[in-house]
Amino acid sequence: MTKDSRAKRDARALQERTGGSYVASRRVTSQPTAARFNEDQCANCMQRLAPQIEGLFCSELCGQYASTVRYWRRIVRDGRIDNPDVRVALNVRIAHLLAGGYARRARHLPDETRAQVWRRDENRCRTCGAPGSEIDHIADDSPDLANLQLLCTACHRKKTESRMSPASNEQQQAMNKIYRERVVPDQPMLLCDDQQEWASTEAGLRAERRGRLLDELAEYGYDRREFPGYSWQDMWDAVLDEAEEDDFDANGIDDDSGFGPDSYFARAMAKDD
């Protein structure tokens, strides 16, 4: 299949899904969509990554956007998008994104805590009494047992859907844009949108970024081993703070807020007139 015929096919598919005109759909699918990835930029939003960030995304939210796009692309292509349960799962993912992301790390529960919840609730859904299947945070991200309950899949879904707020017009437009530009085209717009390529290259790209940052750290005169117990972010915060202080000292700036020996104030006071 030629590039032009593929674009026409994608345009007809996009027109059918969105209800738009063929001309508008053709304009979208004719745009170059080669997978993009720029080192030291966020793989999702393409913003410059600070050295305090060791990974490939500027935030957990951006990582979740990329993961949702890959999931969305996959279920569209394998036909599961027509399954009501799968569509609900997609809508829940999108709702989490629009709410600022899912606090995955904060909501992670140790195996011991999970076992306690199952024992306390006697393997039954706290809402309907059916066999339980999922542990639910009742109010917030707290891992306290009082904030955890066992639910069946149906009750958990019902509770999740009841808390989902309708998307604003602006949010709907943003999701439609992602759908048109990153889900519909056969050729992924970004490398992180490509399920197979991302799975095979992500670890290597992370290792390459870490290597570049360690080289940059060496240029500052430091070694990672000099910071035992420091997180990656805390280490870089300390290095950059010290570099900034050294820069101030090198330029003759002291702690008197602009009144140092090389300041405008000092030069003005030194004039005879």
Residue 255 is predicted with a pLDDT of: 44
Question: What kind and span of H or E run contains 137?
Answer: strand 134-137
* Distance from chain centroid for Cα 191: 14
Token couple for 102: 């899912």
Residue 102 is predicted with a pLDDT of: 76
User: By the 8 A CB rule, do 95 and 164 touch?
Assistant: yes
Token couple for 87: 């569509």
- Condensed to tens digits (0 to 9), the pLDDT of residues 221-233 reads 999 999 999 999 9
Residue 226 is predicted with a pLDDT of: 94
Domain ranges of the chain: 32-99+168-219, 109-164, 228-270
Residue 85 is predicted with a pLDDT of: 87
Residue 52 is predicted with a pLDDT of: 96
- Condensed to tens digits (0 to 9), the pLDDT of residues 240-250 reads 998 887 665 55
Rg (CA), the chain: 26
Residue 248 is predicted with a pLDDT of: 56
User: By the 8 A CB rule, do 186 and 32 touch?
Assistant: no
Q: Which amino acid is at 119?
A: R
Residue 264 is predicted with a pLDDT of: 40
139 CB burial (10 A radius; 0-12, 13-18, 19+): exposed
User: By the 8 A CB rule, do 40 and 209 touch?
Assistant: yes
User: By the 8 A CB rule, do 232 and 54 touch?
Assistant: yes
Beta bridge partners of 124: 131
pLDDT in tens, the chain (273 residues): 555 666 677 667 656 755 666 665 665 555 554 468 999 999 999 999 999 999 999 999 999 999 999 999 999 999 999 998 899 889 889 988 988 877 666 668 899 999 999 999 999 999 999 999 989 888 887 889 999 999 998 898 888 777 767 778 999 999 999 999 999 999 999 999 999 999 999 999 999 999 999 999 999 999 999 999 999 999 999 999 988 876 655 555 444 444 444 444 344 445 444
